[in-house]
Amino acid sequence: MMEIKIGNKELPAQSVFTDWASIFQFGLSLLATLLLWGIGAIMVFAGFVQSIDPSIEIQIINTSMFVGACFLSGIIAMISALSAAGKLFGFSIEKSKWFNKFSQLIKPSILLILFPIILWIGNWVINSSELAWLLMPPIHMIATILPITWLAIISSRGITPVSFQRFWGSFGGGMMVSPPLAFIFEIIGGLFILLIVVGLISFNPDMEQFFTRTLNQISSAPLGSIQFKNLIANIFNSPIVIGASLLFIAVVTPLAEEILKPFGVWLLAGRDLTPKDGWVLGLISGAGFAFFENIWMLTADETWASLVAARGATTIIHLLTSALTGWALATAWQEKKYLKLVAIYLLSVGIHAIWNGGVLLSSLSSVISQSSRLEHAPILPPFFETLLPYLLGILALFSFIVLMLVKRNFQRGEVVEYAVVPSTDIQD
């Protein structure tokens, strides 16, 4: 058999070139690394140009946060690439001393304590420091990582060990592959909904006149002015707009994301995954998806801390629904029965739909209630703005409890030291 020499090791050519999952992970992760760092470098240049004009300070902060997001995402993609390269070429990062020392520093209690401190620091920096453009990128990166890491660790510890490659492959897949694929399907669904809306409006002269007049007024109103906000509120107070928004946010988006989010599980189809493997890998993929959404939330104003904290609750939803679908996939492949897969997938979609729908209705209610000039009575009750956040909090708490109960159920009869901290003795 032909052999390939890598360093001091001679590996069979077959072991290097036939692991298509590892080859795919390596190539895609390396490409993502180069793309992210390349975009970041371009934005550094753009930020330098913007810094010449002091009147666009907020844009400079957003640009620097964008660069930080590119940098951190690129590092994660590079780790994923190196983990796959290690499998292909016979070396391992996880056995190095620096990695073991770093892993030992990750304590859930410390992460939980640091999170509110980081939020306070970030809020102070945005409102008080002239160095916000320099300090906010690392603060935003840390604030994004802390809740996701904490939730992933406490939700999966003790279920089943996960190899270094599978861990980073699943997280990277949720971060790099699932979002753009879901976005494509969402765009298709959104265009279909838009066609329906345009068709309905064209058959109703009064509605067509209302939208034509209001959109023309919006185009000439100063951005951010009271007039602009009132016109936007009138648009959102339309039944057809509310219905179309709900159809897209609470139906199309969950349908697309919940089938694609556990990409780490899909990549390992045919590898004899157990239901425990499917749950944990789905959870890790969901963490990667949540990281993607959270890291690109580039808001450099007084709402930053509250939005980052709220994204922590959304992360719980992503972890639960992705873990459910991952578990259902592995169970269906193992038992060759797919009715349960369909049922669990629809359950994940339903949880996501309730969450997205609640967030949307709360936001629309807030916009409509703040308007002083509505052409019609508010369609959404004003109490939605106050009540729905509490109901969403209850849903997030319930989802967190489910994650803990499922973990406890998996742990019965088997004690495993850890799950999220990548293991070194389980091979793919």
Query: Tens digits of per-residue pLDDT, 328-381?
Result: 999 999 998 899 999 999 999 999 999 999 999 999 998 888 876 777 778 888
Looking at residue 416, its pLDDT comes to 41
Long-range contacts of 335-339 (CB under 8 A, 24+ apart): none
What is the pLDDT confidence band of residue 100, given thresholds at 50, 70 and 90? low
**Rounded CA separation 31/199 (Å):** 42
Query: Does 373 lie in the same domain as 297?
Result: yes
C-alpha torsion 300→303→305→310, nearest 10: -120
- Tell me whether residue 423 is in a domain: no
**pLDDT confidence of residue 425:** 39
Same domain, 177 and 240: yes
Structural domain boundaries enclosing 257: 108-411
Q: pLDDT category, 245, cuts 50, 70, 90?
A: very high
Residues 85 and 205 in one domain: no
In this structure, the answer to whether residues 132 and 59 fall within a common structural domain is: no
Same domain, 275 and 351: yes
CA dist 423 and 164 (Å) reads 6
Task: Tell whether 206 and 307 lie within a shared domain.
Answer: yes
102 inside domain: no
* One domain, residues 40 and 160: no
What is the pLDDT, as a whole number, of residue 2?
Answer: 44
- Report the predicted TM-score, pTM, of the whole model to 2 decimal places: 0.89
Q: Which of 89, 119, 142 represents a domain boundary (last residue)?
A: 89
Residue 16: pLDDT band by 50, 70, 90 thresholds? very low
Looking at residue 157, what is its pLDDT? 85
Whether 147 maps to a domain, the answer reads yes
**C-alpha distances in angstroms, 120 versus 58, 80, 235, 299, 407?**
19, 32, 36, 15, 32
Residue 55 maps to a domain: yes
Q: Are 131 and 264 within one domain?
A: yes
* 145 shares its domain with 6: no
State whether 134 and 253 are in the same domain. yes
Percentage of the chain lying above the pLDDT 70 cut = 86
Please, which pLDDT band fits residue 15 given cuts at 50, 70 and 90? very low
Q: According to the model, what pLDDT value does residue 60 have?
A: 79
Q: What's the mean per-residue pLDDT of the chain?
A: 86
pLDDT of 99 > 80? The answer is no
pLDDT digits (tens, 9 = 90+) for 135-167: 999 999 999 999 999 999 999 988 888 888 999
pLDDT in tens, 41-81: 998 887 677 666 655 544 678 888 999 999 999 999 999 99
Whether 166 maps to a domain, the answer reads: yes
Domain count, the chain: 2
Same domain, 85 and 113: no
CA dist., res. 171 & res. 16, Å (int): 23
**Region 10-31: what's the mean pLDDT?**
73
* pLDDT tens per residue across span 120-138: 999 999 988 788 889 999 9
Whether residues 58 and 144 share a domain: the answer is no
Q: What is the pLDDT of residue 300?
A: 72
Sign of CA dihedral 64, 284, 180, 88: positive
- Domain finish residue from 61, 89, 117: 89
Summarize the confidence of residues 312-339 as an average pLDDT. 95
What is the structure's pLDDT at 46?
A: 74
Q: What is the pLDDT of residues 214-231, one digit of tens each?
A: 999 898 888 878 888 888
Query: Where does the pLDDT of residue 116 fall: very low under 50, low under 70, confident under 90, or very high at 90 and above?
Result: very high
Token readout for 399 is 């989802």
